[in-house]
A = this chain, B = another copy of it.
């Protein structure tokens, strides 16, 4: 996919709990930041179509949400798709947007997502999130996402000798990065001891192994490669967009220490890009739970299977290491507004590749190739995006 599709602008809200903002306000905020991000400016009327990812958690009680969002940003009439593939919604939508440009049917399109989660009582959120995993065999039997990822973690520890400390190191690293990210939700450092001593949600996962509940939105403008110069001298290129699925119930999967959807998606994205894991300079991965980041390392080829724990321990995924992962703070510290997360990761990598991360301590120096890994449910879906300059 050699310079066929360019990213010309990105924007995202702060992630957090914003009682004074609904999904519409959040989306408009991200959209306006994206418009402002376009170096040479753009008439928004040039946007021809939109893909918007959202789980549409019950709180906002608004339907036909993609059309409602484009209406809010004064783009009535253009086709607006709502994509929903659980927590991977906006990376799937981004991929569809790339296809639209590659098809020749569209020249300039919008991909984004948003979620308003904090106006729901915890039980309602648990319901809305819970149905994104397997309902019939897992949720109705009483388990939930912390429980399912705890099973994956236990098996990983049993088979590969991964330790609770390895999980905790993911959390400590991501909080350390998130402190430097003005858009992050949980901006405080934590120590290994704090994670180890925190109350358990589902053994071996403690309070600090889980990402928070978040409000937020993110928006990206894409255009055909040969038009990019009209809008910016620093386009970021889409090198590969992979996607995959897996059985929703973990008992149906080949191996619960792996997420096949991510492996399928990574294979496709690497192939399209003509790149290998060792070519990646910076990555944002879906650390909804700390074990998920360790499994991501392995599925993406950053570590051998079973050796993800050792990779985080080595420090190589720190900023300044061989392959910095979640320099944004990740879902753990930056936050996880479901529908916004996929395109939010892409916003982060675009800043990393353009070298214009607001806080210099968080900048991965000289990064030329970046990767985003966005998982839905407990691994039922995954979208992988590779970008380069």
Which residues of A are at the interface with B, using a C-beta cutoff of 8 A?
Answer: 49, 61-64, 66-68, 70-71, 76-86, 92, 95-96, 98-105, 130-133, 135-136, 243-248, 252, 260-261, 264-265, 376-377, 380-381
* A67/B104 in contact, CB under 8 A: no
A76-B245, A76-B246, A100-B99 are known contacts. Are A380 and B67 too (CB-CB below 8 A)?
yes
Question: Which partner residue on chain B sits nearest A89 by CB separation?
Answer: B82
Least CB distance from A342 to B in Å reads 13
Question: Which partner residue on chain B sits nearest A102 by CB separation?
Answer: B103
- As for how many copies of this chain the complex holds, the number is 2
Q: Kindly list 8 other residue pairs between chains A and B, CB separation below 8 angstroms, not including A64-B85, A64-B381, A71-B248.
A: A66-B84, A67-B85, A68-B380, A71-B247, A78-B244, A79-B244, A80-B245, A81-B85
Least CB distance from A84 to B in Å reads 5
Tell me which of A61, A103, A246 has the highest count of chain B C-beta atoms within 10 A of its own C-beta.
A103
CB-defined contacts of A86 to chain B, threshold 8 Å: 63-64, 67
Contact partner, A81, options B71, B92, B248, Cβ 8 Å: B92
Q: How distant is the Cα of A78 from the Cα of B100 in the complex, in angstroms? A: 19
* B77/A261 in contact, CB under 8 A: yes
Contact partner, A246, options B77, B244, B261, Cβ 8 Å: B77
Least CB distance from A186 to B in Å reads 26
Question: Which partner residue on chain B sits nearest A65 by CB separation?
Answer: B84
Question: Which partner residue on chain B sits nearest A82 by CB separation?
Answer: B84
Least CB distance from A373 to B in Å reads 15
Contact partner, A245, options B78, B84, B136, B252, Cβ 8 Å: B78
* B92/A79 in contact, CB under 8 A: yes
* A133/B63 in contact, CB under 8 A: yes
A64-B381, A135-B61, A248-B67 are known contacts. Are A83 and B82 too (CB-CB below 8 A)?
yes
* A64/B380 in contact, CB under 8 A: yes
* B103/A70 in contact, CB under 8 A: no
* A62/B247 in contact, CB under 8 A: no
Give 7 CB contacts A-B under 8 Å: A70-B245, A77-B261, A80-B85, A80-B245, A96-B99, A100-B103, A102-B102
* A99/B105 in contact, CB under 8 A: yes
Which 3 A-B pairs give the minimum distances between C-beta atoms? A63-B131, A79-B243, A102-B103
Q: How distant is the Cα of A41 from the Cα of B140 in the complex, in angstroms? A: 39
CB-defined contacts of A84 to chain B, threshold 8 Å: 66, 82, 84
Q: How distant is the Cα of A71 from the Cα of B137 in the complex, in angstroms? A: 14
* A61/B381 in contact, CB under 8 A: no
* B79/A133 in contact, CB under 8 A: no
A67-B380, A82-B84, A103-B99 are known contacts. Are A131 and B77 too (CB-CB below 8 A)?
no
CB-defined contacts of A83 to chain B, threshold 8 Å: 81-83
Contact partner, A62, options B80, B131, B252, B376, Cβ 8 Å: B131
Q: How distant is the Cα of A158 from the Cα of B49 in the complex, in angstroms? A: 35
Q: How distant is the Cα of A131 from the Cα of B105 in the complex, in angstroms? A: 31
* A64/B133 in contact, CB under 8 A: yes
